[in-house]
Chain A
Amino acid sequence: MDILAFLAQGFAVALEPQNLFLAVIGCTIGTLIGALPGLGPVNGVALMIPLSFNFGLEPTGALILLVSVYYGCMYGGRISSIVLNIPGDEPAMMTTLDGYPMALQGRGGEALGISAVASFVGAGVATLGLALFAPLLVEFAIRFGPAEYFALFVLAFATIGGVTGGSLIKSFIAAFLGLLLGSIGIDAVSGVPRYTFGLYELYDGIDFIVALVGLFAISECLIYLEDIRGTSRPTLTLGSAIPGVRAAGRCAPTIARGSFIGFVAGVLPGAGAALGSFLAYTLEKRWVGRDGRFGEGDPRGVAAPEAGNNAAAGGALIPMLSLGIPGSGTTAILLALLLSMNITPGPLLFEQQPEMVWGLVAALVIGNFVLLVLNVPLVSLFAKVLQAPGWFLMPMVVMVAFVGVYSLNNSAFDLYMMLGFGVLGYALRKLEIPTVPVVLGLLLGGQMEFNLRRAMSISAGEWNILWSSGISVGIYLFAVTLIVAGLVYSWLIRGRRLS
């Protein structure tokens, strides 16, 4: 079996001392960042990218570090949900519903233990799925021409708005704004400078990393400034997490269902972990029916969303690696990292650099075990971090972002650009215009245009090449289906709000 041989090769890469070290460091930092209220995986990974560049890591190592941070954040997000009732990030939202009531009842340790096991199983299922399904997708995608790829990019944009459930108009505005920003720079085909206004700093286009750190980390700080006083929090006794690990056995069917649902939600482009945890929780509630006491501290209410969001996080890596289309905000940032290292994810990546892909898969398996080991005995240590005052944490985040971005090019221009994107990100968030489609536009715009123009060159200017193959028509149909599904989903959400 090919996959097993590849996986063995992957483990050989991931078990190299340096990579193992990076996985452990990444998991630890990720858990810490994820545990901090307000800082989720998107911020965590965005913040780590300049640092990983500065480490001078080769791409495999950098990718291992960042996905470990990613998985770590997904684990850590539940800590502040359960202990403080503040979700560290969006996917951790559902965990507050039953996790915090459990903590108030003195069962915080149990909740943390259950959620650690649920996260472990969810992430494990997703990693297994990645190893099994990504190669299948690659075999399918290898037949794609430029027109099919263009359709795929359309699919990515068509779905991101609908499935995240916000305003469709605003999501699409965000995507087109990102695409427009992405068209700045020297045109790769003709060499003509486009929208550079004579600024040579813009000739290479807008640096993804500068834009990302600004959009996420800087805007986060501006948001934080609105509420610096904070609220007084009751001190809770957590107790040991070990009983939770045992109790997780009773939640096994819940965890299994949550992992499966989350994984499927993660693979769908644009859906991401928030949908994974939401669906896992609501479906579990419906499944268990009136037997459960959801919302009052039912352990299954912690197990389902945690399994769901971690499975979705791993599932989102599948379209990112095999098609080059990120399934979530964080995978978009991982894609930015790859692109800035001149690696284009997609079917060719699996053929040309199998050691990287399979090393990554193996690193995820290892990271998942590391996270379980870190999270069960050390969880109270991570919970302590939550007591660090915001007036220290936020300036630290800003400074790490600043120095990290500055040292990329030693350029003050980059810093001003980052601040500009910070203000933009802040305004977008206030306007409830999602920032992730902006990032996607910025990232994918170049490839999208390249494929469009290549397709047009092949057809000598005939536009109908774009919908002349069965595959591309199928992709467009799929996009339409997902938009409709998104509309239904947001309709359901609205119904839930009213009830």
Chain B
Amino acid sequence: MSDPLHSDAGRVPGVVGDRIAGALLLVLALVAWWLSHDLESGFMQPVGPGEYPRLISLPLAALSLLLILRPGLNQRWPGRATLVRQALTLLVLGSYAGLVKPLGFLPASLVAVVLLVRLFGAAWKPSLISGGVLTLALYALFEFALGIPLPNMPGLDW
């Protein structure tokens, strides 16, 4: 929900941000429009599967154009250090998503949580401790309290 009550601190004219976003959305709308032509209209259906997305992509394209022409306000974008931190966080989470099944829940989560806690600004020692606690707590919650099987370590079945 956009917030009418925030102070203006941290807001900047969104000339660059809004125009890039507008351009991307415009492309999206045009691609959606173009792809919808491949959709066969159903038998005896006055309105086929393609019409509705076309009805949406038209106003989306018009509004995106308007955004390019009349950019509004943006929140201040973060500096490079923060962007790197955010990218690393996403990298950890993405790798975790791919590795949780092959490696098993416990080792994959332990590594992921410790790295995450580090990225959120804690020193190594609290990271290791809280990482261990959080991993075990999650394992206990899902495996025992909720009865949801989580992936086991390969070769270990219990």
Contacts and interface: CB of A to CB of B under 8 A. Distances in A.
A391 interface: yes
Interface stretch (A296-304, A362-370, A451-459): A451-459
B101 to A, nearest CB: 7
Interface string A169-196: 1111100110110010001011010110
Contact of B138 (A177, A400, A410, A453): A400
Contact of A490 (B4, B77, B82): B4
Contact of B134 (A221, A396, A449, A459): A396
Nearest to B123: A391
A400 B139 CA distance: 11
A232 to B, nearest CB: 15
Interface residues of A, number: 84
Given A192-B39, A403-B138, A412-B98, A432 B14 contact: yes
Interface string A375-409: 00000000000000111101110111011001100
A190 B70 contact: no
Interface stretch (A222-230, A248-256, A471-479): A222-230
Contacts of A429: 75
B124 to A, nearest CB: 12
B94 A419 contact: yes
A407 B70 CA distance: 44
B60 A457 contact: no
B27 interface: no
Contacts of B72: 167, 169-170, 432
B156 interface: no
Nearest to B100: A406
Given A222-B89, A272-B1, A391-B121, A412 B46 contact: no
Interface in A197-237: 218, 221-222, 224-226, 228-229
- Which of A274, A328, A406 has the largest number of chain B CB atoms within 10 A? A406
Pairs A-B, 6 closest by C-beta atoms? A166-B2, A165-B4, A461-B46, A190-B42, A415-B97, A187-B49
24 contacts: A54-B142, A90-B3, A93-B3, A170-B2, A170-B67, A172-B59, A172-B63, A173-B63, A176-B56, A179-B56, A190-B49, A222-B86, A224-B120, A225-B82, A225-B86, A399-B116, A400-B138, A403-B138, A407-B146, A407-B150, A412-B101, A422-B90, A431-B74, A449-B52
Interface of A: 42, 51, 54-56, 90, 93-94, 164-167, 169-173, 176-177, 179-180, 183, 187, 189-190, 192, 194-195, 218, 221-222, 224-226, 228-229, 272, 274, 278, 328-329, 389-392, 394-396, 398-400, 402-403, 406-407, 410, 412, 415-416, 419, 422-423, 426-427, 429-436, 449, 452-453, 456-457, 459-461, 489-490, 493, 497
